[in-house]
Amino acid sequence: MRKNKTVKKAKKQTAVAKMKEEFRMTPEWWAMRRELIAEQKIDPVTKAKLSPKANCHHLDSRNENYTSTDKSRYLMLQPLTHKVVHFLYRLYKKQGEHLFDTLRDIFKLMDKNSTD
């Protein structure tokens, strides 16, 4: 009897992806990350204390600037906040300012119907 095994295909890594991954393994990256967490302390979106697993969000992700250790180019975010920011940014690129109007309307309705 044959078992169904799910085989995960390895993604082919581009040269840019490899460069980014290698940079994120350097001692300079890890030192900067620790410094940013210690300095920033709080996730600016949730106002929660940053955990050691906080993500370093690139404010300038152009390839030529990706390996910069200039701390002004980064913002520390909790992992879920980081995912949400990228998700909303992709929507913003498609919808523009209309996205904010839609979110504002949704939040107003939620407030109106809230039992808090």
**13-64 pLDDT tens trace:** 899 899 999 999 999 999 999 999 999 999 999 999 999 999 999 998 888 8
Which stretch of 5-9, 94-98, 109-113 has the lowest confidence by average pLDDT? 5-9
Report the share of the chain in percent with pLDDT over 90: 73
pLDDT at residue 52, as a whole number: 93
How many CB atoms neighbour CB 76 within 10 A? 23
pLDDT at residue 113, as a whole number: 87
Task: Band the pLDDT of 65: cuts 50, 70, 90.
Answer: confident
- Average pLDDT over the chain, rounded to an integer: 89
pLDDT at residue 1, as a whole number: 52
Q: N- to C-terminal Cα distance for the chain?
A: 57
Domain boundaries, the chain: 15-112
